[in-house]
Structure 1
Amino acid sequence: MRLASAVEESFHVWKIDSSEESSISFGHMTAVPSSKIVHFSWDVEEEQNGDHFIIEKSIDDGQTWETVSRVESIGNHKERHTYKVSEINMVEGISEYFRVSRVDIDGEKKVLDAVNIDHPILTNMKLIPNPKNVRKATTVSCESLICSEGEMNIYNRNGELVEQRRLNLSKGYNRCQIEVKNLAPGEYRVSIKDEFDNTLTKRLVVH
């Protein structure tokens, strides 16, 4: 099994099964995440006696796999065909693995390719209400894939630290409040950082 980057662009072909009864000439699979959806595609140059393909997912470094999609074979062919399918994917870990397997008409399954997708630990930082309309307080929120210690830092336009707060980041949604009445009018940079130095930053304007 070959692990490859989800954004790999090179293409190459090799024989997975060269028997006359059931053969396939296969390229590589790509898996491109977009919000909560992953778009899969793979190229097949030649195919004989195939029944269907399955996409499987693993969140434990390939120890166990769960089927997430099934795509029917187009039948015997000797010209390149690109299979495509998009599936909803709820992120379950920092690294997720996906593989494509081919099942022939006799029910024999053969793994063709595998890719991994690495997800950022911290995402979706927001300042609510809109920073330009802040008067008394604003809520800072973000999402984390893991539990960790962290901190929120506020810097002025000169890059000077004007406020620091320790955070206990939980897995999932996190939020805290900034009392902007304690800040002089001006522009600030608010950052959230976990114990592994993953950082998110947003601009804050205090009137």
Structure 2
Amino acid sequence: ISPTDPTDDYDFAIWGPYPPGSSPGSICPPLSQPIRCSYSALTGNTGLNYTATDFTEGVGGNKWVDDLTVITGEVYLLYVSNWSQSGLAFNLNWDLQNGASLDCTVLPMELIDLTARAADKEVRLDWVTATEHNTDHFRIERSSDGDSFMPIGHQEAAGHSLSQRTYGFQDPEPFNGMNYYRLILVDQDGSVSRSEVVWASFNTGDVSAPFPNPAEDLTLVPIELTRQGTVEWRVQDALGRLVLQGTRLLEPGSSMLDLDLRTLPGGSYTLSVFREGEERLASYPLIRR
């Protein structure tokens, strides 16, 4: 790896070997440790050579690791990082011996930015690709826990592009609380690759403290929703037992829940307000005189 600017610090990692015919979507992102890597802090040329005997170089290393002995048909994955973030190019120089040859397959997409941002009534996803090669479409997936993802939409890809392309997607019904998103790029040959996970926090409702509190027969709960939905309130006693509950369909905007407390004996309680049954919006202590 020869940087255009010799003062640039480049790092790299190599994974493999993978079986012959492995597609980019089946090996990227890699699921194992690299077989060669260097994150040396030195600038200038870096890579593999015939004199190095180690497989990895740390920050204080000399940038060079041991060469690879390869077999015909093997597939390898090379990752190159411009640690200097200069935006300048580099050249790849290959020294192939004993009849070895090289077939470089271009990855279907270079994703340079992916963001998720909560807006008024939705979460907005934006992403930018630097290049695309045989791309078909993006599948947008969402999760409430960062682990189990479900598809919520798709966006057609450029197919072939050597310039930056900007994409956007709006999630009109995000979860209350944390929302995790990722992109699944589907290539024209059906292979897929995943992006990193991004997230946004979204609040579908704002519940103010009940008043009066302490209360006698009635307490009021101000609530504001960003979209129509069913709101449920639950009152539990000091032992955690459910002693009062109710539901109401509310329109977007400001509303007032009126809770009839006449069936409750005097004491301390906990009031919890949920949206659509399980999305907790707020919890407050409540005292019945």
Q: TM-score range by the shorter chain?
A: 0.5 to 0.7
- Tell me the equivalent position of 1:132: none
Displacement of 1:167 in angstroms is 4.4
**Higher-RCO chain (CA-CA 8 Å, sequence separation at least 6):** 1
1:121/1:146 contact within 8 Å kept = no
- Tell me the equivalent position of 1:142: 223
- Tell me the equivalent position of 1:53: 138
Displacement of 1:96 in angstroms is 1.9
CA RMSD, Structure 1 to Structure 2 (Å): 4.3
Cα gap change, 1:75 to 1:84, in 2 (>3 Å): same
1:26 equivalent to 2:111? Answer yes
- Tell me the equivalent position of 2:197: 114
- Tell me the equivalent position of 1:87: 171
Query: Quick one: distance in 2 between partners of 1:108 and 1:147?
Result: 48
1:194 equivalent to 2:283? Answer yes
Query: Quick one: distance in 1 between partners of 2:272 and 2:145?
Result: 23
Query: Quick one: distance in 2 between partners of 1:25 and 1:48?
Result: 9
Identity %: 20
Query: Quick one: distance in 2 between partners of 1:12 and 1:83?
Result: 25
Which has the higher Rg, Structure 1 or Structure 2?
2
Larger strand fraction of residues: 1
Q: Deviations over 1:68-125 (max 9, x none)?
A: 110001221111111112131242x532211112111111111112111234596154
2:117/2:124 contact within 8 Å kept = yes
Give 1:50's aligned amino acid. Answer: T
1:28/1:113 contact within 8 Å kept = no
- Tell me the equivalent position of 2:180: 97
Q: Which moved more, 1:112-121 or 1:39-48?
A: 112-121
TM-score normalised per structure 1: 0.53
Cα gap change, 1:148 to 1:33, in 2 (>3 Å): farther
2:118/2:201 contact within 8 Å kept = no
2:180/2:197 contact within 8 Å kept = yes
Structure 1, unmatched stretches of 5+, are: 2-10, 14-18, 128-136, 150-164, 174-192, 197-207
Secondary structure of the corresponding residue to residue 145 of structure 2: coil
2:118/2:124 contact within 8 Å kept = yes
Match of 1:43 among 124, 128, 136: 128
- Tell me the equivalent position of 2:274: 171
Cα gap change, 1:121 to 1:41, in 2 (>3 Å): closer
Cα gap change, 1:88 to 1:12, in 2 (>3 Å): farther
Q: Deviations over 1:163-202 (max 9, x none)?
A: xx854113129xxxxxxxxxxxxxxxxxxx7369xxxxxx
The number of aligned residues is 142
